[in-house]
Amino acid sequence: MIIAGQTHIGSVRVRNEDAIGWDEAAGVAVIADGMGGHPAGDVASRLAVATVLEAARESNSNNRSWLARGGDPAQLIHNVHQTILSQAEHEPRYTGMGTTLVLAAVDERRIAIAHVVTHGLIAYTRAVFSAHRDHNLAQEALDQAWITPEQP
């Protein structure tokens, strides 16, 4: 697997609050966008990416992907949230910092995508839960019971 990425400040902001990272061996890629208008969005996004990558690289002596080793994207996002809250608690100037986050994790057979948006919803596709509804034909088929969630 080959992963590549880049962020761009855009034409409006004076500071890039994006952070991106990946670990090909662990099969994890993550991008975070610090919340503009809040303090230390750049700190929050860097902390989020570092927390994800640290977890993905942990105990990988058998060269399996993080997801194949039982990695749980929803739990990892919870850990990121706790890490950011803890940092803000210990450093008052960071109070109120936040970030969006998109996490992709793959193994030999699956891909898991999880994301957090600025209003705090978490979605974890085809797995633990989904806090949003897709607006597409597949969702309509599920709603009408024409297919089950297990069907492709």
Instruction: Express each pLDDT in 66-125 by its tens digit.
Output: 999 999 998 999 999 999 999 999 999 998 898 999 999 998 888 898 888 754 444 444
Query: What pairs with residue 1 in β-bridges?
Result: none
Alpha helices in 63-109, H assignment, sequence order = 73-90
How far is it, in rounded angstroms, from Cα 100 to Cα 1? 25
Alpha helices in the chain, H assignment, sequence order = 41-57, 73-90, 137-143
Say yes or no: domain 18-143 is CATH 1.10.1740.110.
no
pLDDT in tens, 109-132: 888 988 887 544 444 444 433 444
To the nearest whole percent, how much of the chain has pLDDT over 70? 84
Q: Once rounded to an integer, what is the mean pLDDT over residues 5-27?
A: 84
Q: In the structure, what pLDDT confidence band is assigned to residue 6 with cuts at 50, 70 and 90?
A: confident
* Least confident segment among 10-14, 16-20, 38-42, 91-95: 10-14
Q: Tell me the whole-structure pTM to 2 decimals.
A: 0.73
Q: In the structure, what pLDDT confidence band is assigned to residue 133 with cuts at 50, 70 and 90?
A: low
Query: Pseudo-torsion of CA 48, 52, 55, 56, nearest 10°?
Result: -160
11 has pLDDT over 60: yes
